[in-house]
Structure 1
Amino acid sequence: MFQNKTSTRSLYYYLSIILLAKILFKRVVLLSQGIGPIHDKWPRYFSRVILNLADVITVRDRGSYLELKKLGLKQDSIITADAVFALDFTAFRKEKTNSSKVGMVLRRFHDYGYFVEEIQEVRDQLKNNENIGFTFYPFHLPEDNIIGGEIRIKAKLEDLLREFANLDLVVGARYHSLLLAHALRKPFIGINVDTKIKYFCESHDMPCLDLNKNTFKKNLKSSIIHMIEKKPEFNPEEQGKRVKDSFSLVFED
């Protein structure tokens, strides 16, 4: 939330809420925040000054923790996890099936047309040579509907979770697709179109592919082949406990 890659105006908006709360002598607790990137002198200055006014800050990953360190905050933040892990996903989990299924969640990004062509080539090669099935899930319509092939549109979260439960691997350029994969204990591969995707993949030792025209197709293909048989030892329940425990900080004096 505290970033200015997409909009400096939104950064100042959220900072102004904190400032207003402190003017009114209210306690400010920031829970499971994603921080960064924050570019340029004045946005970083105002972020440092105003975030220092918060009574407690918890962040969802180590990358956000380090970003606050770079800003020069006086107080230390607490690493918990994304607040989504406070939810219970156990009813949707399934064991791996005999077939190989990859779910892909894409979005528009800089020069995406070039990389979409490479993704299609990798899909066709693995489908024909490795018998791996691919399904594309647009999270935001119509802007995410950028590729041909089997496309599934799910209006309800429960239906999407049931679909994801039948996958063996998720490849995502949307942050929340990786969250769902982790919650369902599925391996995932991030496409590095946003800092939060990179931070999340790093936090869980999952690959995150840079948009490098010289290496992307090769790395995507090898990563899918390598990761589709993995059974990661994710523990979303432990992360959920950390998030729930942090809720008590809202009411501490």
Structure 2
Amino acid sequence: MKNVFIFGYYGFKNLGDEAILSSIVKMIKEKHSGLEISALSYNVKYTKSTHKINGVSRNSIKDIFNAIRKSDLVISGGGSLLQDATSSRSLIYYLAIISIAKLLKKPVLFFCNGFGPIKKSLNKYLASKVINKVDKIVLRDLQSKKLMEEIGITKPIEVTTDATFCLNSVNEKRVKEIIKNENIPHDKPLVGVSVRPWKIGQNFINTMAKFGDYVISQGLNVVFIPMQASKDEEISKRIINHMDNRAYILKNEYTPEEMLGIIGVLDILVAMRLHALIFAAIKEIPMIGLEYDPKVQSFLDIVDQKNGGKVETLDFLNLCIEFDNILKDRYNESQKLHDRVEKLKKNSKINYDILGKMLK
């Protein structure tokens, strides 16, 4: 029996990363049902129960080494794993996993990854040395390809789309059940807001609170959507506490498939989180991105949707103007998304083919 080892930011209950893992596992099982699949994880029990695969503790060098040694293919299945915007430590950690795999002569596939930014010269050098040893590089966007080439990657790079474009949501009955259990009213159009901790000052909190009140004044309801509850809840509640009107927040944790269904009942999404935006695109829900990382603008360009501004300098008036434009033209925005997303779903089929060839 063949073994596949997937590494990424898994087990932290970040729905974007968990959606990526769900999608890769789905593709592998559809191509080769008899494979043994293992994934790097912060929470091995969670990964086993959620994805029905083996979990490998990210804190055990011995377990990681053994998982790679037993594998026939090592997949980098993260989003933008290789970057130093958060810290150099994370970058070095993932480069080390790739290096171990190549030391053990295992084929390595970069699968639908984002890339960068990498700012430090030493990190660029290390990344280029390691990545040029990878067997196959598949990225999710052209900006990532450009950044890779800028640091000296000479291997061929293929650009397709994010792995999650093959994800299916739970059925409508389950979505209605969730909305009811969360006590979210559906008497008015619903606007979702997804924010995350970042280098955020009081201006961002005040602007988003004021914006939430503005949306409600236009006759809509607002629901905050934590994509990683342990991190997003606090910043969401800070904004809600600064609002004059009542906003809602999802209180329970959900699977990627459930969250895709929840986002599918929105009328508009305003989000920092990339995979909240991707979920909206899959469901053809018009969106406004809030840019904290270049990957947000890169995706908005792909789906031709609006950027509400950089989070550090977010402007209330500009955000309201973008929102009003979408609100007035929701149908056409949704149609525009439909055309873009159909192309992305076709690219997702290319991902299946690439994976199939690497698993032969």
| Paired residues of 1:135 and 1:152 also in contact (CA < 8 A) | yes
Amino acid at match of 1:225: D
1:238 and 2:346 are equivalent in the alignment: yes
Structure 2 matches for 1:1-253, cutoff 5 A?
1-89=81-169, 91=171, 99-128=188-217, 130-145=218-233, 146=235, 147-148=239-240, 149-157=247-255, 158-208=257-307, 209-211=309-311, 213=313, 216-228=315-327, 229=330, 230-231=333-334, 232-233=337-338, 234-235=341-342, 236-251=344-359
Between Structure 1 and Structure 2, the one with more helix by share is: 2
| Paired residues of 2:101 and 2:108 also in contact (CA < 8 A) | yes
- Judged with a 3 Å threshold, the aligned counterparts in structure 2 of structure 1 residues 206 and 90 are, in CA distance, closer, same or farther, namely farther
Amino acid at match of 1:132: L
- Judged with a 3 Å threshold, the aligned counterparts in structure 2 of structure 1 residues 123 and 90 are, in CA distance, closer, same or farther, namely same
| Paired residues of 1:59 and 1:78 also in contact (CA < 8 A) | yes
| Paired residues of 1:172 and 1:178 also in contact (CA < 8 A) | yes
- Judged with a 3 Å threshold, the aligned counterparts in structure 2 of structure 1 residues 113 and 223 are, in CA distance, closer, same or farther, namely same
Q: Which runs of 5+ in 1 are unaligned?
A: none
Deviations 1:8-60 (A, max 9, x none): 11111111122222222221111111100011111000111110001110001
SS in 1 for 2:311: coil
TM superposition shift of 1:142? 4.3
- Judged with a 3 Å threshold, the aligned counterparts in structure 2 of structure 1 residues 205 and 98 are, in CA distance, closer, same or farther, namely farther
Alignment TM-score, normalising by the size of structure 2: 0.64
| Paired residues of 1:103 and 1:164 also in contact (CA < 8 A) | yes
Deviations 1:110-167 (A, max 9, x none): 2343212111212212322x22221111222343222212112242234433321211
| Distance in 1, Cα, partners of 2:249 & 2:268 | 16
| Paired residues of 1:29 and 1:55 also in contact (CA < 8 A) | yes
| Paired residues of 2:201 and 2:312 also in contact (CA < 8 A) | no
Deviations 1:190-225 (A, max 9, x none): 111122222222222222222353x62122111112
| Paired residues of 1:90 and 1:184 also in contact (CA < 8 A) | no
| Distance in 2, Cα, partners of 1:211 & 1:251 | 41
Identical columns (%): 26
Alignment TM-score, normalising by the size of structure 1: 0.88
| Distance in 2, Cα, partners of 1:239 & 1:170 | 24
| Paired residues of 2:263 and 2:280 also in contact (CA < 8 A) | yes
| Paired residues of 1:86 and 1:243 also in contact (CA < 8 A) | no
TM superposition shift of 1:240? 2.4
TM superposition shift of 1:239? 3.4
| Distance in 2, Cα, partners of 1:65 & 1:109 | 25
Q: Which has the higher contact order (CA 8 A, sep 6+)?
A: 1
Aligned length in residues:
248
| Distance in 1, Cα, partners of 2:189 & 2:84 | 39
Q: Which runs of 5+ in 2 are unaligned?
A: 1-80, 176-185, 241-246
